[in-house]
Amino acid sequence: MGEIYVVAEHRKGEVREITFEMLFKARELCRTFSHRLTALLLAGKDAGFADDLAKRADRVLVFENDRLETFNSDLHKEILNRVIQKDQPFMTWIAHTSWGMDLAPALSVKTGLPLATDCVDIQAEDGRPIVIRQIYSGKLFSRVSFKESPGYLMTVRSGAFLPPDDAEMEPGEVLKQDIPADLAEPRKTFVEFVDTGAGEIDITQADLLVSIGRGIGEEENIATIRELADRMGATLSCSRPVVDKNWLPKFHQVGTSGKSVRPKVYLALGISGAFQHVAGITGAGTVIAVNKDRKAPIFRVADYGVADDLFKVANALKEKLAGA
């Protein structure tokens, strides 16, 4: 029986959603190939994360120590290397985040195992992993295979796999582990955590999002859409071009360089639908797109589409809401 390891990522007292996304997908593969699913948790003492992870994995290996309270790639690399060398799992998954982009390449060098980064899908054929990655700015998907190896490492893109709300199983076994006594002092020191996406609103918690893109035209036009959002009881969000022009703060941005959202309804106004943006709305219940360009990529993922001027549609909605 093989084994898939998923390295849990946590920040500021919470397990990050990407961890549960990876566990959901890994569990599918484990069922198909009769593998065991193991979550690896490196955290401070009494972090309290193990029980949540155990609901989604066959077992949880827990390394708890004050030195692990905040992420440090030097410490994580050394501990994970020893676990991987000892247990030799079939695959080890790490989130493709600032965490993972720091840790995974160093771990690959340390273990000598091959690494595939920013994977949007992972399968297995003939005893080896097959991963799907986007290339040429998301215009193409590449199917990547590996040479034979004792194990494989990969980083997984946030939002690639969306678990259902009830994606739980019989609680797995929680195994407390001691960190190596000869663990060297890291070369890096944690100073502080600064969330550039933090702000006065949290778009990830909104049930209804009205989102604007390049099609808004000018900064002064945002007021029109903000009024619409207020009347609808919605939260205003945007695509990257709006943030790049400094028309809205970063915490409004949806996409791979912004935030992944899961509203019940996502109304996209003047958004072309670049893959970076679409990746951030894969969890949306219903996507409604308005764009003058009938060939805009956003229509490929929208449940409903309107090929028309966004201001015409916005004004019609406001009139309808005013008479409601």
Quick one: 249 and 139 in the same domain? Answer: no
Same domain flag for 150 and 224: no
Q: Is 198 part of any domain?
A: no
Q: Which pLDDT belongs to residue 196? A: 60
- Buried b / exposed e over 132-155, threshold 16 CB at 10 Å, is ebbeeebeeeeeeebeeeebbbbb
The domain tally of the chain equals 2
| H or E element at residue 306 | strand 304-306
Q: Kindly state the percentage of the chain with pLDDT values over 70.
A: 95
Band of residue 213 on the pLDDT scale cut at 50, 70, 90: very high
Give the model's confidence band at 262: pLDDT under 50 very low, under 70 low, under 90 confident, else very high: confident
Mean pLDDT of 233-257: 92
Report the range of poorest mean pLDDT among 49-58, 191-200, 211-220.
191-200
Q: Does a structural domain hold residue 195?
A: no
Report the CATH number at residue 55: 3.40.50.620
In a domain, 100, yes or no: yes
Residue 260 lies in a domain: yes
Range of the domain at 22: 3-177
Q: What is the pLDDT of residue 197?
A: 57
Of 142, 161, 177, the last residue of a domain is 177
Residues 145 and 233 grouped into a single domain: no
Among 92, 90, 156, residue whose Cα is nearest residue 127: 90
Task: Look at residue 75 and tell me if it is in a domain.
Answer: yes
54-102: pLDDT as tens digits:
999 999 999 999 889 889 999 999 999 999 999 999 999 999 988 999 9
pLDDT reading at 324 higher than 70: no
Both 129 and 237 in one domain: the answer is no
> In the prediction, which pLDDT does 186 show?
86
pLDDT tens, position by position, 270-314? 999 987 898 889 888 999 999 999 999 999 999 999 999 999 999
Whether pLDDT at 228 is above 70: yes
Q: Do 304 and 261 fall within a single domain? A: yes
Residues 6+ apart with CB under 8 A from 160: 21, 25, 119, 120, 121, 279, 282
Q: CATH number of the domain that 226 lies in?
A: 3.40.50.1220
Residue 136 belongs to a domain: yes
Same domain assignment for residues 118 and 223:
no
Q: Do 261 and 167 belong to one domain?
A: no
Report DSSP state, residue 308. S
Residue 212: name the closest of 248, 239, 230 by CA: 239
Residues 242, 167 share a domain? no
pLDDT at 124: 87
Decide which of 177, 194, 211 is a domain's last residue.
177
Q: Is this structure's pTM higher than 0.95? A: no
- pLDDT > 60? residue 242: yes
Question: What residues contact 207, with CB distance under 8 A and at least 6 apart?
Answer: 263, 264, 265
Check residue 192 and give its pLDDT. Answer: 80
Does pLDDT of 164 surpass 70? no
Tell whether 238 and 101 lie within a shared domain.
no
pLDDT above 80 for 198: no
Whole-angstrom Cα distance, residue 232 to residue 170? Answer: 41
pLDDT at 204 over 80: yes
Tokens 């943006």 belong to which residue? 277
Which of 34-43, 121-130, 188-197, 271-280 has the lowest average pLDDT? 188-197
165 plus 255 within the same structural domain: no
Q: Quick one: 168 and 115 in the same domain?
A: yes
Q: Are residues 160 and 245 in the same domain?
A: no
In a domain, 197, yes or no: no
- Confidence tier at 165 by pLDDT (50, 70, 90): low
Q: Would residue 183 count as lying in a domain?
A: no
